[in-house]
Amino acid sequence: MSLTLSPLAVPKTQNGTERHWTAEEFYRAAAQGQFTDPDRLELVHGRLIRLMQGERHANLTARLSRRLRRALDPPFFAREEKPIHIAFDGEPIPDLMMTYEEGYAGRHPEPQDVALLVEVADTSVEYDLGEKALLYAQAGIEDYWVVLVAENAVVVHRDPDPNGYRSVVKLVGLDTISPLATPNISWTITKWLGVAEIPKEN
């Protein structure tokens, strides 16, 4: 996720080591008011990471969200900066998510509910291409895109296995990109990342 990742002061265990959080423990602590702005915390391998959003990242994420929403018809829906439940100790917050339903009553989407995840990488390219990519591959996410803001490029990850994605391709310029689940929808990279709005696909 292209955000500034800042250290988070969290309670230590009795022996002084960093606490390994579960999702259940995190939500209980958040309900008790232990965190400021808990919606900006993602849980990755039991670590709580505070996500500080910059203006460039926010603007591009909003623009890509509009593009995706305008292109999709049911049964697919776009969600922006919402958690996905991957494991008992893992609830990352991708920038964009394409799901098979609009909402999930009483729970967050899980990997089987997700057709596409997108991270917009501005200041955390290594995190999104490294730890995040492995996390999503191990969860079985079939289609994972990392937008490289500085390069005007998109790295498409597909064919996941426990060791990572077997297919990783960087697309630029007039290369075309389509979600696996909706191959009838496509953009050039220039259009996907461009400032000008685009009409809904027919």
3 state DSSP class of 22: coil
28 and 119 belong to one structural domain: no
Query: Over the stretch 25-77, which tens digit does the pLDDT of each residue have?
Result: 887 888 888 888 888 888 888 898 888 777 888 899 999 999 999 999 989 99
Q: How does DSSP classify residue 111?
A: G
Number of domains the chain contains: 2
Residue 201 belongs to some domain of the structure: no
Residue 82 belongs to some domain of the structure: yes
60 and 125 belong to one structural domain: yes
Q: What pLDDT does 4 receive?
A: 40
Q: In what order do the strands lie in the sheet with 153-161?
A: 77-80, 96-99, 114-121, 143-148, 153-161, 164-172
Give me the CATH number covering residue 182.
Answer: 3.90.1570.10
Query: Over the stretch 82-99, which tens digit does the pLDDT of each residue have?
Result: 999 998 888 999 999 999
Closest-CA residue to 133 (of 112, 115, 158, 107): 158
31 and 59 belong to one structural domain: no
Q: How does DSSP classify residue 14?
A: T
201 pLDDT more than 60: no
The number of residues making up the chain comes to 202
44 and 62 belong to one structural domain: no
102 and 30 belong to one structural domain: no
What are φ and ψ of residue 131, in 5° steps? -60, -45
Environment class of 5 (CB within 10 Å of its CB; exposed 0-12, middle 13-18, buried 19+): middle
pLDDT confidence bin for 9, thresholds 50/70/90: very low
67 and 159 belong to one structural domain: yes
94 and 39 belong to one structural domain: no
Question: Which domain does 77 fall in, by range?
Answer: 53-193
| Rama region for 61: left / alpha / beta (φ>0; ψ in -120 to 50; rest) | alpha
97 and 35 belong to one structural domain: no
Residue 166 belongs to some domain of the structure: yes
Give 122's contacts (C-beta < 8 A, 6+ positions apart). 2, 3, 54, 56, 57, 60, 149, 150
155 and 133 belong to one structural domain: yes
147 and 175 belong to one structural domain: yes
Residue 177 belongs to some domain of the structure: yes
Closest-CA residue to 60 (of 38, 41, 81): 81
Query: Over the stretch 101-127, which tens digit does the pLDDT of each residue have?
Result: 877 777 889 999 999 999 999 888 999
63 and 27 belong to one structural domain: no
57 and 46 belong to one structural domain: no
